[in-house]
Structure formats: C-alpha cells, structure tokens
Amino acid sequence: MKGSPPICLEKEIRMAYLKPQRPEKVTAPSLRASKERGERLVCLTAYDYTMARIVDEAGIDIILVGDSVGNTILGYGNTVPVTLDEIVMHTRAVRRGVQRALLVADMPYGSFHTGADDAVRNALRLIKDGAAEAVKMEGGRKRADLVKRLVDEEIPVMGHIGLTPQSVNMLGGYRVQGKTAETARALIDDAKALEDAGAFAVVLEVVPREIAKLITESVKIPTIGIGAGAHCDIQVLVIHDLLGLSFGKLARFVRQYADLKTTMTEAISRYAEDVRTGAYPSEAESYGLPAQAAAELEIPTPKTDAEVEKQ
Ligand code: KIV
C-alpha cells in the first residue's frame, strides 16, 4: 500500500475485546504529530464505495465525504440543499471502501444551526450510522462554542473557514476571502478560536496564500488548504475536479490530473456504436445452450462455449 509511513503516536495496547486498528491507520490525533514532523499529508473527497476504495488504496491520508456531493453527485448546483440523510448514506458507502485513511463527514447546512443538542444528535448520526471518525463544520469564532460542545461529547471536529460555500446566500457568491487587513485578521482569530475550542484541524478555503501561511504558523493544529497556497500543512481537492469529471469552468486552484469525462464519453460512444451496428455482443460474450437441452428442444446443435472461445 502506498502512503506515508505509520503515523501512530505511541505503542498501542492490545485490548482483547476490541478490534485492533492497523498500525498505519490515520487518526484525528495523529494529524497534529504529522504537522510537528513536517509531513505533508493529502486529503481528497469521495462519495461512494468505488471511489473511496481507489482513493484509500492510492494512499490518501484523509477522505472527506464533503457536502460538495450536492454539486458532484446530486446535481444541486450548490451545497445548500444537501441533507443529513444524504451525507449519512454517502458516508456509509465510503466507509465500506476505506481502511487506512481518516474518514471525515461534513455537517450539511441546517444540521448545526438549530441548537447545540441538535448539532450533537446530527454529528452522532454521522459517527454512529455513517461510521465517520470525525465531522467537519463550516464557520469560525461564531461556531467555537459548538465545536467545544461536540469535542466534549467525544466527537472530533474539523473546522472550515475562508470561503464557506454554505454561506453563499450571505456572501453573495464564491469569492476569495480575507483580502483586506481587517478580514484577514478575522480569519486568523477564527482559526485560533477553533483550535482553542478543540478542533483537530482546520480547512482554509480560497484565502490569500500569505494569510494561509500566517494561520499555519500561528496554530498547532494542521491547516488543510484548498485554493490557499502551498504553505498549508495538508492539501485537499474535490475528486471530480482532479479527475476531470466536473462541468463548467474550473477554479484557478484546481489542477486536473486526468480527463475522465472524455475517456468515459469515448467508451460510452464506442459501446453505443457497437450495439447499433450489431458488433456487440459477440458469441464469446454470450452463453450457449448445452447440447442435451438443445437436442430435447430440437434446436440445431449449438457451438459449445469452448468452441466459441477458440474462435
Ligand atoms: O464539501 C467539500 O468537498 C469541502 C472541501 C472542498 C473542503 O468542503
């Protein structure tokens, strides 16, 4: 398996009644030690079993079931309509494909806005029903008390500041955040407040690289950058953007590593062409009737599968 070397902090005690974790398993507390050692970890989104398994086996350290599922899989156009049930369902699918990476599930818009008890209940669904190991929540200082409450209930929390897509109706669009001295200072305060509240990491989305560097140097928890420059401890991308499966113009921070949309369109078109011309399926791609049944049914003796395969 690819990926970073074992990240466990200390020798683990074997508890006979508990399933032991693999030594190389990435955990929420292990991220801080990785930052101290200067390791550059990698995070990607995934939303289903197949993608999650490929991402995990490729050695990615953190897998996020982001509410970007609203754009990539559900076709909503933004993340606002995404529901808790949807995130739970996708997290369950992803869980089945992940063994090594830390699995984080997003708290969707509306799941933490109606009081701390509701937020705890909803986060617990992601942990118990979805089998996520941590939750991510958008918002800075104004969510600090909520982060502390979740952490007090043993739920690891990843913060998320800068461009917070759930606030699109308040922000009026998707723009770089923290471009003035005042808003940049506010971002630094947000990151510190989340750290003080017990968040184990913080996503910095679309902020100037200088501010991301300042934040990364001012907190002990790792920063996870998306459109925030090279100084963040960890980088994250939406997997559909990286693989070339997105529609429309890509943001400037996206590096596209494959063009799967074109590959898929070509494969699907070739299949359709083969069906239309009768080139698919061939005899070798179908099943012959055994001779005995053919004789009883008075069907001319068919070729055996072995004969077909030889052709
Ligand atoms: O929902 C998501 O995919 C995210 C990442 C972009 C950080 O929040």
- Burial class from Cβ neighbours inside 10 Å (0-12, 13-18, 19+) for residue 227 reads buried
* Annotation marks residue 205 as catalytic: yes
Q: Please indicate, yes or no, if residue 53 is contained in any of the structural domains.
A: yes
Q: How confident is the model at residue 99 (pLDDT cuts 50, 70, 90)?
A: very high
What pLDDT, in 10s, does the model give residues 192-241? Answer: 999 999 999 999 999 999 999 999 999 999 999 999 999 999 999 999 99
- In this prediction, residue 16 carries a pLDDT of 81
What pLDDT, in 10s, does the model give residues 43-60? Answer: 999 999 999 999 999 999
pLDDT, mean over the chain: 94
| Kind of pairing between the strands at 41-45 and 157-162 | unpaired
Please tell me the residue having the least CA distance from ligand 1 atom 5.
Answer: 66
Ligand 1, residues 238, 239, 240, 241: which to mutate, most atoms within 8 A of Cβ?
A: 238
Q: Please indicate, yes or no, if residue 276 is contained in any of the structural domains.
A: no
Same domain (yes/no): 114, 216: yes
Q: Please indicate, yes or no, if residue 268 is contained in any of the structural domains.
A: no
Same domain (yes/no): 309, 194: no
Q: Domain range for residue 242?
A: 28-262
Look at residue 82 and tell me whether its pLDDT is greater than 90: yes
Q: Please indicate, yes or no, if residue 116 is contained in any of the structural domains.
A: yes
Question: 71 and 77 in contact (C-beta within 8 Å)?
Answer: yes
What percent of the chain is predicted at pLDDT more than 70? 93
Same domain (yes/no): 117, 75: yes
pTM of the model: 0.92
- In this prediction, residue 6 carries a pLDDT of 45
Same domain (yes/no): 104, 179: yes
Question: 97 and 49 in contact (C-beta within 8 Å)?
Answer: yes
Same domain (yes/no): 181, 213: yes
Same domain (yes/no): 163, 293: no
Same domain (yes/no): 197, 303: no
- In this prediction, residue 309 carries a pLDDT of 66
Q: Which atom of ligand 1 is nearest to the CA of 136?
A: 8
Q: Please indicate, yes or no, if residue 102 is contained in any of the structural domains.
A: yes
- In this structure, what CATH number is given to the domain that contains residue 236? 3.20.20.60
Total domains in the chain come to 2
Same domain (yes/no): 79, 221: yes
Span from the CA of 201 to the centroid of ligand 1 (angstroms): 14
- Residue of higher predicted confidence among 24 and 228: 228
